[in-house]
């Protein structure tokens, strides 16, 4: 028996037909040795960690071997060293995020079926041992379950230090984040606004989206997240009912995104009073937004802008759009 592994864990490892499941580099016959190294820790921990991220979730891909490895990691999570626990929790968070954001991907459904077991293992762990990805892992594996699981997760998250990632997880599990909407911390405010669908939450979401640091901050909150996700969330809100002051901020936000490189400006095409838009932005606001699109040379360096505009029922040609914005066509 390997040092640090009891007979039951060794048997669980032996019961898997590793030659019949694969990872990024072929049959997972090396998995048992890597998992033993994970349990032993020490100098071999780095190689074992690279195996988790590099072979079993290579470039965000899930494999048939990912499931038995996840099950084993969950089984032994409370037996690992502090260093190994932090790495495994980070990997568990990554797997959960992949199954949540790409539920149709191969093996995602089978992995997602392990959610209750994963969450129970995380709750059985000392949160301090789980490292910086502990609360994010709980958020990534949000699931519906009986036996008061959601209440227990919310209680655990409320016991953890407050930061954006913890609040995002709490919001995912149905926690009330309204008291954090006015926080001085952008990450805390962003997480609260993302999950609070009240008028106050929507106003805060518009405000945080306008902050120049939001993209970097959001990656700290949701390691596999994108600013597009936040913009998408905004567009699910009832923006037609927001107060005038918030509407003015929304109009300014649309122009800001159209004027700034690498921002998800195309989401606001859904709000304009032209093409297929819903008219949340009035004609004047629509004209200012589209003029910013026309004037941003960067947007026209690839065919993407034209494709997005045409999909929205607008001219994909820059000069045609310029004429539309400046004339009676709008």
Let me know if residue 167 belongs to a domain.
no
The total number of structural domains in the chain stands at 3
Within 8 A by CB and 6+ apart from 5, the residues are: 13, 36, 39, 76
Structural domain boundaries, residue 258: 241-330
Among the three residues 209, 237, 265, which one is the final residue of a domain in this structure?
Answer: 237
Residues 214 and 261 in one domain: no
Q: Which of 160, 191, 208 is the last residue of a domain?
A: 160
The CA distance from 169 to 222, in Å, is: 9
- Tell the burial category of 124 from Cβ atoms under 10 Å away from its Cβ (0-12, 13-18, 19+): exposed
Decide which of 126, 160, 194 is a domain's last residue: 160
- Which has more pLDDT, 42 or 169? 169
Domain membership of residue 173 (yes or no) is: no
Are 186 and 72 within one domain?
Answer: no
Same domain assignment for residues 198 and 329 = no
Distance CA 253, CA 199 (A): 17
The yes-or-no verdict on residue 15 having pLDDT over 80 is yes
pTM: 0.90
* Phi, psi for residue 22 in degrees, rounded to 5: -125, 160
Distance CA 12, CA 220 (A): 35
CA distance 115 to 144: 9
Q: Residue 3's pLDDT is what?
A: 46
Give the model confidence (pLDDT) of 195-214 as tens digits: 999 999 999 999 999 999 99
Instruction: For 56, list phi and psi in degrees, rounded to 5.
Output: -100, -20
74 and 203 fall within a common domain? no
From CA 294, how far away is CA 186, in angstroms rounded?
A: 31
| Together in a domain, 199 and 114 | no
Count of helix runs (H) and strand runs (E) in the chain: 19, 2
11 lies in the same domain as 155: yes
Q: Mapping DSSP to helix (H, G, I), strand (E, B) and coil, where does residue 161 land?
A: coil
| Whether 271 and 142 share a structural domain | no
144 shares a domain with 14: yes
Residues 65 and 205 in one domain: no
Q: At 303, give phi and psi (nearest 5°).
A: -70, 0
**67-101: pLDDT as tens digits:** 999 999 999 999 999 999 999 999 999 999 999 99
pLDDT band of 13, cuts 50, 70, 90: very high
Is residue 327 pLDDT above 80, yes or no? no
169 within domain boundaries? no
Kindly state whether residue 165 falls inside one of the protein's structural domains. Answer: no
**Are 254 and 121 found together in one domain?**
no
Q: pLDDT (tens digit, 9 = 90+) per residue, 30-80?
A: 999 999 999 988 888 999 999 999 999 999 999 999 999 999 999 999 999
Residue 227, pLDDT score: 92
Q: Are residues 228 and 313 in the same domain?
A: no
pLDDT recorded at residue 329: 62
Q: What is the dihedral of CA 292, 197, 243, 271, to 10 degrees?
A: 30
């Amino acid at each position: 028996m390997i040092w640090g592994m009891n007979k039951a864990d060794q048997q669980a490892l032996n019961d898997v037909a590793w030659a019949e499941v694969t990872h990024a580099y072929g049959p997972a016959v090396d998995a048992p040795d890597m998992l033993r190294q994970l349990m032993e820790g020490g100098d071999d921990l780095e190689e074992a960690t690279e195996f988790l991220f590099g072979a079993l979730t290579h470039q965000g891909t899930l494999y048939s071997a990912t499931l038995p490895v996840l099950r084993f990691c969950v089984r032994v999570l409370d037996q690992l060293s502090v260093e190994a626990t932090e790495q495994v929790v980070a990997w568990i968070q990554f797997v959960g995020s992949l199954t949540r954001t790409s539920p149709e991907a191969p093996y995602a459904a089978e992995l997602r079926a392990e959610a209750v077991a994963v969450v129970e293992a995380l709750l059985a762990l000392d949160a301090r041992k789980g490292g910086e990805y502990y609360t994010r892992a709980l958020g990534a594996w949000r699931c519906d379950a009986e036996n008061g699981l959601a209440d227990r997760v919310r209680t655990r998250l409320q016991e953890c230090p407050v930061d954006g990632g913890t609040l995002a997880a709490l919001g995912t599990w149905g926690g009330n984040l309204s008291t954090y909407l006015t926080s001085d911390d952008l990450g805390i405010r962003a997480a609260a606004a993302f999950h609070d669908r009240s008028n106050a939450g929507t106003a805060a979401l518009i405000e945080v989206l306008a902050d120049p640091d939001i993209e970097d901050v959001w990656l700290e909150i949701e390691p596999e997240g994108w600013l597009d996700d936040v913009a998408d969330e905004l567009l699910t809100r009832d923006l037609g009912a927001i107060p005038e002051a918030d509407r003015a901020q929304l109009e300014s936000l649309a122009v800001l995104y159209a004027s700034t490189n690498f921002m998800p400006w195309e989401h606001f095409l859904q709000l304009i009073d032209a093409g297929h838009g819903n008219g949340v932005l009035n004609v004047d606001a629509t004209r200012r937004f589209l003029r910013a699109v026309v004037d941003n040379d960067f947007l026209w360096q690839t065919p993407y802008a034209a494709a997005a505009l045409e999909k929205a029922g607008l001219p994909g040609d820059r000069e045609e759009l310029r004429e539309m914005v400046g004339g009676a066509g709008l």
